[in-house]
């Protein structure tokens, strides 16, 4: 297939492109390589993809650049589009809300228009567990109301879901939204917990634990996430407008997560207990039964095994 993956230099985008290229798909990767976190890590991911020697083409383009995006869609004639590009980060959205409107709303509208213009068979797009806000319902179900987001980031992801649904009904585009829970693994993002905790641990700095360390998160290893996306991509065509949770389905206490890192590194963490941050939630827990029912999705990587692979990659990449 000919597949567009946006956010190709990002964490999940890199792993997805790698899987698709390795199995022989024709992949176009798109990313603007912004400086939200170290660009050198994004460039290193792209270099890894180039080394595969498969049918991979990279476009350095921002989603907000509608003219360039329109031309790429027309030239490539994609059959599937996986939109993973976004301005990420709940806490950063408090500081820079405009970046989220530009990328996550205007940019996603441009993706929808590109799919409409060339008749893409199926658009799969990234939403987020943050759309649930601070709910008392556990596990989180896609049947639950999501009308009280706690951050601009969450609000933009909720807007994407609504926009995708409108384009399905107006233009008959098959769309599948995936509400990602906390993803971790090799080549991960430096602003996410596994990366921050390990970096602090190895450098004898305090690990900042918000909500006094009483968070619980549905940590999901990146290979399990990619397997779920691949299963959806491989469906002959989409079937309407659908939403799924994609996570492990087993929340882990944040302090237990830190303890696993301590065991893997042989180091004792310095814990700095801090109050809850604005826009944050106490716990996340994915109900993935619908994804299992429709696509046979079954996460298989334990948190301990996933963190071990992450620690090995981190130490090799950063020579620590």
Choose, from 14, 37, 132, 153, the residue flagged as catalytic. 153
Closest CA to 277 of 214, 196, 219: 214
Instruction: Give mean pLDDT, residues 51-58.
Output: 96
Share of the chain above pLDDT 70, in %: 99
pLDDT at 237: 66
Closest CA to 251 of 222, 282, 221, 218: 218
d(C-alpha 100, C-alpha 41), whole Å: 21
153 is annotated as an active-site residue: yes
pLDDT tens-digit map of 207-218 = 999 988 888 999
Length of the chain: 320
| Domains of the chain, CATH where assigned | 2-187+220-250+285-300 (3.40.50.720)
d(C-alpha 315, C-alpha 320), whole Å: 5
Instruction: Give mean pLDDT, residues 120-127.
Output: 97
Share of the chain above pLDDT 90, in %: 87
pLDDT at 90: 81
| Cross-strand bridge partners of residue 26 | 2
pLDDT at 281: 79
Answer yes or no: is pLDDT of 236 > 90. no
d(C-alpha 121, C-alpha 96), whole Å: 34
Q: Is the sign of the CA dihedral 99, 157, 161, 4 positive or negative?
A: positive
Instruction: Give mean pLDDT, residues 296-303.
Output: 96
pLDDT at 280: 75
Its pTM stands at: 0.95
Answer for the pair 4, 212: CB distance below 8 angstroms, yes or no.
Answer: no
Answer yes or no: is pLDDT of 272 > 90. yes
Answer yes or no: is pLDDT of 79 > 90. yes
């Amino acid at each position: 297939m000919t597949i567009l993956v946006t956010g190709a230099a990002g964490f999940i985008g890199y792993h997805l492109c790698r899987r698709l290229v390795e199995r022989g798909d024709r992949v176009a990767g798109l990313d603007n390589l912004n400086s939200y976190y170290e660009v050198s890590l994004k460039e290193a991911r792209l270099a890894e993809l180039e080394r595969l020697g498969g049918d991979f083409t990279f476009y350095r383009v921002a989603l907000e650049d509608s003219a360039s995006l329109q031309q790429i869609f027309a030239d490539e004639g994609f059959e599937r589009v996986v939109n993973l590009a976004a301005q990420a980060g709940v806490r950063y959205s408090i500081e820079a809300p405009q970046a989220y409107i530009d990328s996550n709303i205007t940019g996603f509208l441009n993706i929808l228009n590109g799919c409409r213009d060339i008749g893409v068979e199926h658009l799969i797009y990234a939403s987020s567990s943050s759309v649930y806000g601070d709910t008392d319902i556990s596990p989180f179900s896609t049947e639950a109301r999501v009308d009280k987001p706690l951050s601009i980031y969450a609000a933009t992801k909720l807007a994407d879901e609504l926009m995708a649904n409108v384009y399905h009904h107006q233009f008959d585009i098959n769309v599948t939204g995936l509400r990602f829970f906390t993803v971790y693994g090799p080549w991960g993002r430096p602003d996410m917990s596994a990366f921050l905790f390990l970096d602090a641990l190895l450098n004898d700095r305090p690990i900042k634990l918000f909500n006094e360390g009483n968070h619980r998160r549905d940590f999901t290893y990146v290979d399990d996430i990619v397997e779920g996306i691949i299963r959806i991509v491989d469906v002959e065509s989409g079937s309407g407008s659908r939403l799924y949770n994609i996570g492990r389905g087993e929340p882990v206490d944040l302090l237990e997560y830190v303890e696993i890192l301590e065991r893997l590194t042989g180091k004792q963490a310095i814990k700095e207990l801090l109050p809850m941050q604005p826009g944050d939630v106490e716990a996340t827990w994915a109900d993935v039964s619908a994804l299992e029912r429709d696509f046979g999705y079954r996460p298989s990587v334990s948190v301990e095994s996933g963190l071990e692979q992450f620690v090995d990659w981190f130490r090799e990449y950063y020579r620590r």
